[in-house]
A and B are shown apart, each in its own frame.
Chain A
Amino acid sequence: MPDPTAAAFELTHRPVLVPVALTSPCIALLPLPEGTVIQILGPAARVEDVCAITDATGFSLRGNGPGQWFAVGDEPDKFAELAATLPDGFTAIDQSHGRVRIAIEGESVGEVLAKGTGVDLALFETGRAATTLIGHVATHLARISDDRFELLVTRSFAENVWDDLKIMAAEYLGVSHE
């Protein structure tokens, strides 16, 4: 029998960041779609097994320290599909509700991010990913290309990081940061 109170308590998904990009000729801050984010834990030596699964299911795989990965994709509700094909020895945790992605791109991206993180971005090649602090917030940083990074932050800190990024990028966006 359907629960008569279900409709009253139906959850509505609202993005935590206003989906409006901030752009200038040399820098752009882009809130990304809240699709699917999956944390994967398992033996570090078997990274190829995880790669094969994420490639087949259309996720982008990003390292996060030894034996830890994030699989991210733009489409929502894809957790079950990946979890069903995960080999023995690995654990997947759905973080789609808990983490938010932000992209930052443009020729000044290195100068902007260097104001907030201790990672040496000159040595951080395309394809690398790591967790670091941006200000006081633990943020997963992935270099997508020479002038594009993606940030993954816990949902409750996303607005804070977005505001910090606005301040860090203010001189390149041509706005006052007050």
Chain B
Amino acid sequence: MASLISCPHCGIRPKEEYAIKGAALPRPAPDAPRSVWFDHVFLRDNPRGPYEEYWHHAGGCRRWLIVTRDTATHEVLACRDAGAEPAVTA
């Protein structure tokens, strides 16, 4: 696993301070068909390469972050606050 995450508010912190929720995917419309919601909630692509995930800085600033992580090398490519993302507020 990526062991150091660069929180935009707190700086570089070890992964033990964070809780991982999973893939950061665009949220379907509230009235989307059940099959679309089933896909969104349960089915994952598991790609090789850069992957966006929600991380919660539980042992720090308690903000939700979107971490871009390479699933093959575990390199952390970017880390930004999730509050400004439309996917979260939709």
The answer to the question of B28 belonging to the interface, with a C-beta cut-off of 8 Å to chain A, is no
Give the interface size class of chain A. Answer: 10 to 19
Q: Give the dominant DSSP class at B's interface.
A: loop
Cross-chain contact A133 with B10 (CB below 8 angstroms)? no
Cross-chain contact A138 with B58 (CB below 8 angstroms)? yes
The answer to the question of B22 belonging to the interface, with a C-beta cut-off of 8 Å to chain A, is no
The answer to the question of A68 belonging to the interface, with a C-beta cut-off of 8 Å to chain B, is yes
Cross-chain contact A118 with B16 (CB below 8 angstroms)? yes
Q: How many residues of B contact A (CB 8 A)?
A: 16
CB distance from A142 to the nearest CB of B (A): 14
- A21 to B62: give the CA distance in the assembly, Å: 32
Cross-chain contact A120 with B12 (CB below 8 angstroms)? yes
The answer to the question of B9 belonging to the interface, with a C-beta cut-off of 8 Å to chain A, is yes
CB distance from A170 to the nearest CB of B (A): 23
Task: Give the residues in chain A near B63, CB-CB below 8 Å.
Answer: 65-66
The answer to the question of A1 belonging to the interface, with a C-beta cut-off of 8 Å to chain B, is no
Cross-chain contact B62 with A131 (CB below 8 angstroms)? yes
- A131 to B57: give the CA distance in the assembly, Å: 10
The answer to the question of B60 belonging to the interface, with a C-beta cut-off of 8 Å to chain A, is yes
Q: Which of A64-87 contact B (CB under 8 A)?
A: 64-66, 68
Cross-chain contact B62 with A65 (CB below 8 angstroms)? yes
The answer to the question of B33 belonging to the interface, with a C-beta cut-off of 8 Å to chain A, is no
The answer to the question of B1 belonging to the interface, with a C-beta cut-off of 8 Å to chain A, is no
Query: Would you mind naming 26 contact pairs between A and B with Cβ atoms under 8 Å apart?
Result: A65-B60, A65-B61, A66-B9, A66-B61, A66-B63, A66-B81, A68-B61, A68-B62, A118-B12, A118-B14, A118-B16, A119-B10, A119-B11, A120-B11, A120-B12, A130-B10, A130-B60, A130-B61, A131-B10, A131-B61, A131-B62, A132-B13, A133-B17, A133-B59, A138-B58, A138-B60
Point out residues on B near A: beta carbons under 8 Å.
9-14, 16-17, 57-63, 81
